[in-house]
């Protein structure tokens, strides 16, 4: 089972998981534009580079910043409502390494 919403790949594509299809149309659009932001800013390649060059210090902080940057990419393109809906209804409320909480992400896009 592909138990995720969406993710970018090192080869510049976006994969969608089974959970993606449970989102509303507005949420799907916002998630896709968020993932396009990751591609635009080459986040996956930057993560890989940090790992293969053994630059682990600050890695998770960089990943969190990339999430905020991809969120802002979606907001700047008119997808704030869909992103807010996704964060309120589906995003994790629990802090995990490399990912800000839904509350942190909502606060950042509402500033």
pLDDT tens digits, one per residue of 65-80: 999 999 999 999 999 9
How many other C-beta atoms lie within 10 A of the C-beta of residue 46?
14
Per-residue confidence (pLDDT) for residue 92, from 0 to 100? 79
In degrees and rounded to multiples of 5, residue 27 shows phi and psi of -70, -40
Instruction: Name the residue with tokens 């500033």.
Output: 111
Instruction: List, in sequence order, every residue forming a beta bridge with 96; answer none if it has no partner.
Output: 99
* DSSP 8-class letter at 16: E
Question: Which two tokens mark 2?
Answer: 């592909």
pTM value is 0.94
Residue 91 has pLDDT above 90, yes or no: no
Give the chain's mean pLDDT: 95
Q: Where are the beta strands (DSSP E) in the chain?
A: 6-8, 14-16
């Amino acid at each position: 089972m592909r138990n995720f919403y969406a993710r970018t790949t090192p080869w510049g594509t976006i994969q969608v998981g089974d959970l993606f299809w449970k989102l509303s149309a507005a949420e799907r659009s916002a998630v896709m534009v968020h993932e396009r932001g990751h591609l635009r800013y080459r986040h996956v390649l930057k993560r890989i580079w940090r790992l293969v060059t053994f630059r682990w210090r600050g890695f998770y902080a960089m990943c969190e910043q990339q999430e905020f940057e991809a969120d802002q990419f979606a907001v700047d393109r008119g997808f704030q409502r869909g992103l807010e809906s996704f964060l309120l209804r589906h995003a994790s409320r629990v802090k995990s390494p490399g990912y800000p909480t839904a509350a942190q992400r909502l606060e950042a896009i509402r500033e």
